[in-house]
Amino acid sequence: MASIPFEKLNINRFWEKTPTPLKYILIFTILISTSYFIVSKRIDDSRFKEIDTMKRGIVATYELIDNFEEFRKEQDTYNKEVLNYLKNLHALVEDLNATTNRKFDILMNSGNKNTGDIIEKIQILNESFERVSKVYEGNIQTPNLDDNKVKKDYNIKIEVTRQVTRKDSIK
Amino acid sequence: MEKKWKNPQSIIVIAIIAIIFCYIFVDLFLNKPQMNNDIKELKSQYNELSIFLDKKIPEIDSTFSIQSKQLQEQKQQMDSLELTLSHKIR
Residue A166: pLDDT above 50? no
C-alpha B61 chain-centroid distance: 23
The verdict on ipTM greater than 0.90 is no
Residue A73, chain B, CB below 8 Å: the answer is: no
**Half-sphere exposure of residue A2: CA atoms within 13 angstroms, side-chain side:** 1
Which residues in A lie closer than 8 A to residue B73 (C-beta atoms)? 83
pLDDT of residue B89: 63
Q: How far apart are CA A15 and CA B10, in angstroms?
A: 9
Lowest mean pLDDT among A36-50, A98-112, B1-15: A98-112
Instruction: Look at A93 and B88 and tell me if their CB atoms are within 8 Å.
Output: yes
A41 contacts chain B (CB < 8 A): no
Is the residue at A91 inside a domain?
A: yes
Per the CB < 8 Å rule, is B88 touching A97? yes
Q: Is A134 on the interface with B (CB under 8 A)?
A: no
User: How do the domains of chain B map onto residue ranges?
Assistant: 2-89
pLDDT in tens, A45-84: 898 899 999 999 999 999 999 999 998 899 888 888 888 8
Rounded-to-5 percentages of helix, strand, coil across chain A: 80, 0, 20
Map A26-37 to HEC letters.
HHHHHHHHHHHH
Domain that holds residue A97: 84-143
pTM above 0.90, yes or no: no
Q: What is the pLDDT of residue A108?
A: 66
Q: Measured between beta carbons, which residues in chain B are less than 8 angstroms from residue A165?
A: 31
Number of domains in chain A: 1
Report chain A residues whose CB lies below 8 A from the CB of B24. 32-33, 36
pLDDT tens for A131-154 read 666 665 555 555 554 444 444 454
Mean pLDDT across A35-42: 91
Of the pLDDT bands very low, low, confident and very high (cuts 50, 70, 90), residue A92 is: confident
What mean pLDDT, rounded, does chain A reach?
Answer: 73
Q: Which residues, in sequence order, are CB contacts of B56 under 8 Å at separation 6+?
A: A65
Q: Give the pLDDT of chain B (90 residues) as one tens digit per residue.
A: 556 777 888 888 899 999 999 988 888 888 778 888 888 999 999 999 999 999 999 988 998 898 898 889 888 888 888 887 777 665
Instruction: Tell whether A20 is covered by a domain.
Output: no
Task: Flag whether residue A87 sits within 8 Å of chain B, measured between CB atoms.
Answer: yes
Helix (H) or strand (E) run with residue B42 in it: helix B32-89
- Give exposure, A55-66, as e/b (b: 16+ Cβ within 10 Å): beebbebbeebb
Say if the Cβ atoms of A93 and B42 lie within 8 Å.
no
> Is position A130 within any domain?
yes
